[in-house]
Amino acid sequence: MPVGRDAGNAPASPEDLERLATTITSWAEGERAASDDVLAVDRLDDPTFGHRWFVRLRGDEKQVTTVWFHLRQRTLHFETQFMPRPEENREELFEMLLRLNARVQQMRFTIGWEEAIYLEGELPIARVDEGTLDQIIGAAYQYTEQWFRPCMRVGYRSKFRG
């Protein structure tokens, strides 16, 4: 894999992508074996979408958090569905999420095509290693545990009693 200052801009060779895919798979399987809080991991290879994985984590505030990884030619994209489409107080919730974006690292709050709220991020593949994958999973878990309940209280104020 290319290494150096401009490595994040160069497309990876198929061999480099396969090596990185093997690293991600090995890391994910290791996480599953090492922790009861990792409920499931899987690798999905698709000719159209390429290499994808998910890591499903047990949570407290949100029962399950699933982090998806998608290995692209130049980047590793990662995301988790943070909460469903808010039914009320959308402007208040969106303002809250925009303000939270200034406080989170490695990820950002976004609105998906179905108007659900996501946490997502992207890194150049040259920066991806097991330590970085640990940080991504940790950030997704931490932000979901920290902000899921307060955001649900805003987006579902009349229904959410938690």
Query: What would the mean pLDDT of 149-160 be, rounded to a whole number?
Result: 94
Quick check: 100 and 147 in contact, CB under 8 A? Answer: yes
Query: Who wins on pLDDT, 61 or 5?
Result: 61
The three-state DSSP-derived secondary structure of the chain is CCCCCCHHHCCCCHHHHHHHHHHHHHHHHHHHHHCCCEEEEEEEEECCCEEEEEEEEECCCCCEEEEEEEECCCEEEEEEEEECCCCCCHHHHHHHHHHHHCCCCCCEEEECCCCCEEEEEEEEHHHCCHHHHHHHHHHHHHHHHHHHHHHHHHHCCCCCCC
Average confidence (pLDDT) over 43-62 = 91
> pLDDT tens digit string along 55-90?
999 999 999 999 999 999 999 999 999 999 999 999
* Listed residue (87, 93, 37, 90) closest to 65, CA to CA: 37
The band of 1, judged by pLDDT with boundaries at 50, 70 and 90, is very low
27-54: average pLDDT? 93
CB atoms within 10 A of CB 23: 15
Average pLDDT, the chain: 91
pLDDT band at 9 (very low <50, low <70, confident <90, very high): low
pLDDT for residue 7? 47
pTM: 0.88
Residue given tokens 């805003």 in the structure block: 154
* Confidence check: pLDDT of 8 > 90: no
pLDDT tier for residue 3 given thresholds of 50, 70 and 90:
very low
Sheet holding 75-83, edge to edge: 38-46, 50-58, 64-71, 75-83, 117-124, 108-111
**What would you measure as the largest C-alpha separation in the chain, in angstroms?**
53
